[in-house]
Structure formats: structure tokens, C-alpha cells
Homo-oligomer: A and B are copies of this chain.
Amino acid sequence: MPQFGQVTFEPAGISVQIPAGSTIYEAAQAAGVSIDAPCGGQGKCGKCQVVVTRGLVSEPSVLEEEHLTAGEMQQGARLACQTQVQGEVVVRLLTEETVITGKALDGDGLRSVPVAPNVHRYDLEIPAPSLDDQRSDFRRVADALPDTWTELTASVGALRSLASALRADEQKISLCTVGTELVDVRPAFARSHCLGVAVDLGTSTVAAYLLDLETGAQLATAATGNPQAQFGADVISRIEHSNSNPDGLRQLRAEAVQVVNELIQQAVAQAGADLRDVYEVTVVGNTCMHHLFLGLEPRYLAQSPYVPVTTELLSLGAAEVGIDIHPRGKVFCLPCIAGFVGADAVGVIVAGELTRRSRPVLAVDIGTNGELALWSGQRLLTASCAAGPAFEGAEIEHGMRAAPGAIDHIAVVQGDIVVHTIGDEPARGICGSGLVDAMAVVLEMGLVDKAGRIVNDEVSSDLPGTLAQRLQGKGPQRQIVLADSSQSADGPVTFTQKDIRELQLAKSAIRASSEMLLERVGLSADDLAEILIAGAFGNFIDPASALRMGLLPEVPADRISAIGNAAGAGAILALRSCVEREYSRHIAQVAEHIELFRSSEFQTRFAEYMMFE
């Protein structure tokens, strides 16, 4: 066995040398190639599937035999985290590009606000100095600003270019301020634009929105998967990575900073703009993403009492954070509320203007960590609950992201189940909105009882034949076929007993939390004027299905609104308007965070809502 192995990743053609005996997963990390491994490479999730097309590798492990079918293995499929490299190996990646739906990224749910940014550009003709006017260059510039300016500061960098910029075009200049700071002065002929980027740093997806800060217009958007996924799919496994590797936090921060820089560059290139014209970046993300992006210790977020390093609205130098925009540009991180209610939740509350409403409203963001915000009309309560990743398709037998081939909607037509897939492609799995519909449909059709059990053959024999045939297996192996082989790409897509249990846990956590928040302020579902569902997920789910499965408090379906990627919308609003930015600070200050799970009542309620009514 040679001392070194080499792995080439196709189709990108990236090669890396690693010590023989390293796993393909380790090689991918060394090569900077992203392999999705939600469990962090422990062989538990079975998601890091690759195909070894050439070269010598270790024999399949027991864990691989559990996760891979014989057919898959025959075609060379392996789990990257289990497969050790023993020479020169060529590996084909199965990961496809994350499909980003245009809708979420267009910042729908984005309300219109007057453009009042923190960044300003002024075209000025400065009076030339004379023996009668010996004011310094800086003073003449400061005095030439509109009367609304009471204070102007400048970093030494801006001062260094001031004298020559002033004299290059006869004291005609184009200057740019961020807050009270003069950050850029150029001769008028080199007149600049004045741009900003709002960043939504999600656990799975990162998006950047480029704005013209003079008009408020959105010029471009760019998005991609969060490359931190290579260190774990969810925040807990990433915190684990940081805890257990001396270099872990630095790695996670570097990935976050790099992906944000790449997206800014992409958006700027799309718009044909110049990076040096970008003066400000606003960032939202959950508290863990926020900490990892800034390099703040995430350890204590994950252990009781779940304390963040800071929750303040932060104004930081772009250079200090590592963001490549104008060298004197600023990065504003929206405030967080608690360890599990972050700047993304603040963004949702800002976008939804919860506290500006006269009537009660509940905002729900459903993810591995569910976040809830309830505005009672007087008080703003927030809570988080561990919903698990079921609605994101993880821990679900045929779960997948909202990508082509995913079942996204299910209806009952002529007494049988009819599925719709994204892109009308052969079914490859089922995504979040499909799961909500599936749950509603199987309950509706009597395939699953109130306790969440798939009915046995005795009961199912009473069902119409087409439906009855969809039930297969026994006990824990029992499942419902949603799309048979004729409709699918790689064999039937089924909805298993275990899938139902996962969804049951998730919906129970969210529902119990919602109800408990209402009780805290003496309200009931009837009092809610609206329920807002945030996130791309919210755009696609059928409110009636969500109500049918008991995910949300019982309100009329027309009171349920999707507000899209409201976290991103919050970042955009805070970039476009100082009023909204200050509103985010206000939100974080007035929010009362409730640790629901502490209440003995929570377990009772949680158990209660496990039932499907």
C-alpha cells in the first residue's frame, strides 16, 4: 500500500493528495470540495454518498451496508465518510447544485419602505482654500455637507486620499459617508455608485442581495449552499465541530466569510458593478451562524443556559470581519434575541412589523430549530423549539430538498393520491411542503389513525383498492407508497411509519410552543388576526394541510400567510432604511424570550399535541 493516496473529484476534476487510509470525506475536506454530511461524517446519516469510479479503496463497512442498497453498491456507490483511500482514486460526486427558488430570493414579503440608508453619496463642489479661508481640507468638506450634518468623522485611510482627490478635479468631489464617517472621497470625474449588500446567512443556504442605496433598487441576487455543511448539517453538529477541533471555529468562520465574499462578488459581477462601490453589508442569521461568522465562541449556545456572547446590533469594520467590499465599508449584524432566537428571527419580526400591528399576530419559522414570535398587541414574546429536521427532509426515508423531482404537493383525486413534483420530473423524493400534504392526505383518507399509526391490513381492507394497495410492510416497516416505480426515477417514493413519527414530534413541538405562548398572554387561537409562516417552506405549504395535520393553532385558513424569506427581507429592510435598522434594535430590546421547555407543562402539552385530532 503506498504511503500517499490521491483522490480526484469528478466532475470538477479537483485532485488532492492525502495520507493513505484517509477517508474520501477527509480528502474532500482537504480539497475544499463540499460533501453534504449532516451527521458530520459519523456514518449515521448515509447522506455522503459518492461513486468510486476508479482506484483502490477499503471494503464496504457495516454502516455502508446498512445505508446503501445492493444495487447502489454494485454501481460503485459508497459513503464518503466510511471509504478509505488506498491509492489513486477517482470519485464522482452525486451532490447537485442546491436549487434556489427565485421566489424566496426575490425577497417577497418585502414591504416597501422609504429609502433612508445609512450610506450617503454627495456630489459637492468644495470652495477652494485661500489665505482668507485656511480651513483644513476635511473641515471644508464637512462644512459643505447639508445642514443636517452635525458631526463628521473620518478614518485615517479616508484622510490619506482627501488632499489629492480634492485637487484632481478643481475641488469637485463625490464623497461617501457611512453613518457619521467619511469613508470615501473621489474626484467628481471618478463619480461612484453607492451600493450595499444584505446577507441572509442560513444554516443551509446563504443568499446575498445587492442594492443601490441611492434608489433602494435591488440590482442582483446570488445564493448558494452554506459550505459549513461539510462540518455538519445543523448548528449543533457545527458547534460540536468547533468544540472538538482546535481549528474548528476558525474553519467555520473562514467558510462563512468566504461564501459571503463569493456571493457579494457574484452579485456585483451580475450587476456589472464594482466591489469598491459597496459600502455596507447587513447580515442576518441564527445566533449560531452569527457567532460563527464573527468568530465568536459558539460553545455556550448549545449548553444550558444557552447564553450568546452578544446579542447587540453590531457595527463593525468590513476589514475587521474579513468582508471584501470598500476597505472602509461597514458590516452591520442585526441583533439576536437569545441562543436559539437569532438575527434571522429579528429579521422576520422586522419584515412582518409584528409590534406595529394593533391586533395579535404569531410568526412561525419552521426549521430544525423552530422559532416563534407572538405579538399580543402589548408584548412581544419569543420562543424556540427543537422541531428536528423532518420538515427539511432530513431523517425522512425519501426526504430531500425542494429540488427537481421532489414531491412538493399531494392531492386526492378520485379517491386516490396524486403527487406533483418540482419540474414535473419523475419523483425522486419528497420535500417539506409535500410532507405536510402527505400527512394531511393520509389522515384525511384514513390511512393513519389519530395516534399516528399507519392502519393495519384489517382496517385497510375497508379502503378503496387503489389506496389499500399503497400500504406495504408490517409494524415499524409499514409504509405508504406515494409514487410507484412507474412514477419515479429510482424506485418507489414511500412515506414510512418512522417518517410519520418524525413529523409527529416536529409538529407537536411547534404546536405546543405556539399554544403555550398564547396562554402566557391570555390569548387563544381565535384572537390571532394572522399567522405568518416565514421561510421558503412557508411559500409552498398548503395552509389547509398545515391546519389538518395540527401544525398550527386552529385559525381559519385565510388567516395564514406565507411571508417568504422574511429573514432576508429583514436584512434588506435594515440596509435600505435606518428606521428599520433601529426598529431591529428595538425588537431585540423589547422581546421577552421564554424558555418553554423549562415549564413542567411543556411535556404535558407536547404529549397532548402528539395526537392528530
Contact = CB atoms under 8 A, between A and B. Distances in A.
Copies held by the complex = 2
Interface string A162-179: 111001000000000000
Interface in A9-24: none
Contacts of A136: 307-312, 336
A33 B263 CA distance: 49
Interface stretch (A150-158, A368-376, A408-416): A150-158
A162 B309 contact: yes
Nearest to A139: B311
A584 to B, nearest CB: 16
A71 interface: no
Given A156-B320, A295-B156, A321-B156, A163 B309 contact: yes
Interface stretch (A81-89, A127-135, A274-282): A127-135
A157 B295 CA distance: 9
Nearest to A128: B305
B163 A297 contact: yes
B310 A129 contact: no
Count chain B CB atoms within 10 A of each CB in A156, A294, A299, A320 and give the residue with the most. A156
Nearest to A335: B136
Contact of A309 (B155, B159, B294): B159
A159 B307 contact: no
A296 B129 contact: no
Contacts of A295: 156, 160
B305 A154 contact: no
A305 B130 CA distance: 5
Contacts of A299: 163
A602 interface: no
A137 B320 CA distance: 21
A304 interface: yes
A520 B162 CA distance: 34
A454 B160 CA distance: 51
Contacts of A595: 131, 134
Nearest to A333: B156
Nearest to A598: B131
A313 to B, nearest CB: 10
A4 interface: no
Given A305-B131, A312-B138, A300 B155 contact: no
A22 to B, nearest CB: 31
Contacts of A311: 136, 138-139
A314 interface: yes
A154 B307 contact: no
B297 A135 contact: no
B137 A309 contact: yes
A593 B134 contact: yes
A140 to B, nearest CB: 8
A134 B320 contact: no
B294 A163 contact: no
A320 B138 CA distance: 19
A156 B294 contact: yes
A339 interface: yes
A154 B299 CA distance: 20
Contacts of A306: 134
A316 interface: yes
Contact of A164 (B131, B154, B163, B297): B297
A566 interface: no
A300 B164 CA distance: 10
Interface of A: 129-131, 133-139, 154-157, 159-160, 162-164, 167, 294-297, 299-300, 304-312, 314, 316, 320-321, 336, 338-339, 593, 595, 598
Given A134-B306, A155-B316, A156-B295, 4 more contacts: A131-B305, A135-B307, A159-B296, A164-B297
13 contacts: A129-B300, A129-B307, A134-B339, A136-B311, A136-B312, A138-B310, A138-B312, A139-B310, A156-B320, A162-B309, A162-B310, A163-B296, A163-B299
